[in-house]
Amino acid sequence: MAYVPTSTDNIFENLHKQLRDERRNLEECSLLLDNTLTSAKDEIEKAVKIEKDSCAKKMAELETKLKNEMEHKLYLAEQRHRLEIDQLKKEHNNELISLFEGVHIVLDDDTVKAHETTDKEESDWLYDNVIAGPQNMTDLEREIFEDDVYEW
C-alpha cells in the first residue's frame, strides 16, 4: 500500500517550505545588512579621512598665519628696538655735547708754530696735541660725577 499524504502532511510540508523561504529571506536580509554596515563603515571612514585632511589643512593654514604674525611682531619689535637705540645714542650725544659746552681749546705757541702748514691734509692733525680746559673746572667735575659719566 502506498503512502497517501494526509492534510496534516500537506500542512507540515507547506510550513516547512515557508520556513525554508523565511530562512532564505533572513539570510538575504543578513547579507544585505552586512553589506549596508560595511558600506556605512566605509562611508564613515571616508568622511573621517576627509575631515582629518580638512583639519590638517586648516591647522597648517593657522600655523602659517601664526608664524607670519609672529615674524611681523618680531620685525616690529626689532624696529622699535632700533629706534630706541637710535634715540638713546642721540640723547647720549646730546649729553656729551652739553657736557663740553664752555670748554675752550687752548694751544700753546710751540704747538701752533710746530704744526703751522698751508697744506689741508697736514692741518688735519693740528689738534693732536691740544690741551682742553673748561672755563670752570668745578662745574665740569660736578656734571661728570652727577650724571654718572665717570665712576670710581
The model's pLDDT over 37-96, given as tens digits with 9 standing for 90+, comes to 999 999 999 999 999 999 999 999 999 999 999 999 999 999 999 999 999 999 998 888
DSSP SS3 for 132: strand
Q: Give residue 102's region: left, alpha or beta (phi > 0; psi -120 to 50).
A: left
At residue 152 the predicted structure's pLDDT band, cuts being 50, 70 and 90, is very low
Give one DSSP letter per residue of 30-42, joined into a string.
HHHHHHHHHHHHH
Cell 564613515 maps to which residue? 44
Q: Which pLDDT value is given to residue 26?
A: 97
| Higher per-residue confidence, 31 vs 108 | 31
Q: Is 3 exposed, middle or buried (0-12, 13-18, 19+ CB in 10 A)?
A: exposed
pLDDT of residue 89: 92
Lowest mean pLDDT among 13-22, 24-33, 36-45, 98-107: 98-107
C-beta neighbour count of 140 within 10 angstroms: 17
Question: pLDDT at residue 147 above 90?
Answer: no
